[in-house]
Amino acid sequence: MADQASFQGLQEWSDIFSKSLGKQSEKYYRKFLIDIASIFLGLKQSLLFDYAFVDLRNATRLIGSIAENEWVDRRADILKVGENIFFTRLKPLISNLRKTIDSKEFTLIDVSGKLQEPRVLEDAIARRVMEQFRNIVDNLEEKLNDSDLHSPKVDEVMTRYRLVDLSGLFLDEQLWCIPSVFGFLLGYPVIYWCENASEDNCLTLVPLNRYKLTFKASVSSLCSSQIPDCCRTLVAGSCGKFKSCNHTLFSFTAPITLESSYQSQVSEWKKKIHLLGEILDISQDLTCEKTTVTLAQVSL
């Protein structure tokens, strides 16, 4: 387990976050630490950084600071998609994404604004989207191999984390539904697709199932030998050494009328999370809640 010396420096996390991303972002560092710990634990495959504004320069500064620090002995990589920044571990991400495609672990739902109500994405478009997803994974793998080859020559810190920029893949945004790409990268079992993501969708006032996975994180619960010390350090930095804090790992919606089309994928997703929780001996700290909501506006 992480020793006492590791925990004594944890007040510096706030300073690292503030210096890397600006004073306005300082209040989000606790959420970030648990999200990164969850990536290392395998509970999340990636994090879309949407707490506050972050660009590539600030993201590399933050991960570089963490990589240079002895508190965390694992690497978090950076993935850039357009102007958006994801934090992840690229090798596990690629493996997970390939598996989700091969095993059809998600349902694609068409929520285009021209529709009167959402529907399962029709086969021809779904095949095109699946091919786009395969293209994303192929590009990730190619760029990962390239970064493995070249990054040690560029910067000593880069040997401890990788940066992959997929922005060039999405130059013609009319060919892509970026919210679908995000859902794919984040590992959602239900992924929304929209013909024109910049326009309204058809989810307004539609009854939705909302699924929320919560992690009651605490240092004391992370006692399994399967859990790396750095995860205890990150959780201690967020919650304190002797406290726990509830953190939402996933939150997504899906139309109630289409539940029979995605119920199997959601059940398998929950089962996979539960099995991992049992392996890590934290299943009692993972709670999946299903509620019903009707929203005046749904952002993709």
Residue 291, burial from CB neighbour count under 10 angstroms (0-12, 13-18, 19+):
exposed
Residue among 8, 6, 92 nearest 44 (CA):
92
Q: With a cut of 90, say whether residue 82 has pLDDT above it.
A: no
> Is a pLDDT exceeding 90 seen at residue 8?
no
| Per-residue pLDDT tens digits for 265-286 | 999 999 999 999 999 999 999 9
pLDDT for the residue numbered 71: 66
Q: Do the beta carbons of residue 194 and residue 111 sit within 8 Å?
A: yes
- Say what the alpha-carbon torsion angle 195, 201, 202, 206 is, to the nearest 10 degrees: 140
Per-residue pLDDT tens digits for 183-214 = 999 999 999 999 976 778 999 999 999 999 99
pTM: 0.90
User: What is the reported pLDDT for 254?
Assistant: 98
- 94 token code pair: 């690629």
Tokens of 145: 């191999």
Category of 185 on φ-ψ map: left (φ > 0), alpha (ψ -120 to 50) or beta: alpha
pLDDT of residue 4: 43
Does residue 125 or residue 27 have the better pLDDT? 125
What is the percent of the chain where pLDDT is above 70? 88
For position 152, what pLDDT does the model report? 44
* Tokens coding 229: 């010390």
DSSP string, the chain: ---HHHHHTTTHHHHHHHHHH-GGGGGGHHHHHHHHHHHHHTS-SEEE--SS---HHHHHHHHHHHHHSTT--S--EEEEETTEEEEE-HHHHHHHHHHHHHTT--EEEE-BTTSSS-EEPPHHHHHHHHHHHHHHHHHHHHHHHHHHHHHHHH-TGGGGS-EEE-GGGGSSGGG--HHHHHHHHHT-SEEEE-S-TTS-BS-TT--EEEEEEEEEEETTT---TTS-HHHHHHHHHHH-TT-EEEEEEEEEEEEGGGHHHHHHHHHHHHHHHHHHHHHHT-GGGEEEEEEEE--S----
- Strand-pairing partners, residue 46, are 88
Contact 265, 60 (CB under 8 A): no
pLDDT tens track for 15-71: 888 888 877 676 788 899 999 999 999 999 999 988 777 888 888 888 888 777 666
What pLDDT score does 69 carry?
67
Judge contact between 179 and 197, C-beta under 8 A: yes
Chain segment 230-245, per-residue pLDDT in tens: 898 888 888 876 688 8
pLDDT-based confidence at residue 103 (cuts at 50, 70, 90): very high
Q: Pick the closest to residue 246 from 288, 216, 219 (CA basis).
A: 216
- Confidence at 153, pLDDT banded by 50, 70, 90: very low
| Residue 176 to residue 183: CA distance in whole angstroms | 13
User: Are the C-beta atoms of residues 87 and 38 closer than 8 Å to each other?
Assistant: no
Are the C-beta atoms of residues 238 and 74 closer than 8 Å to each other? no
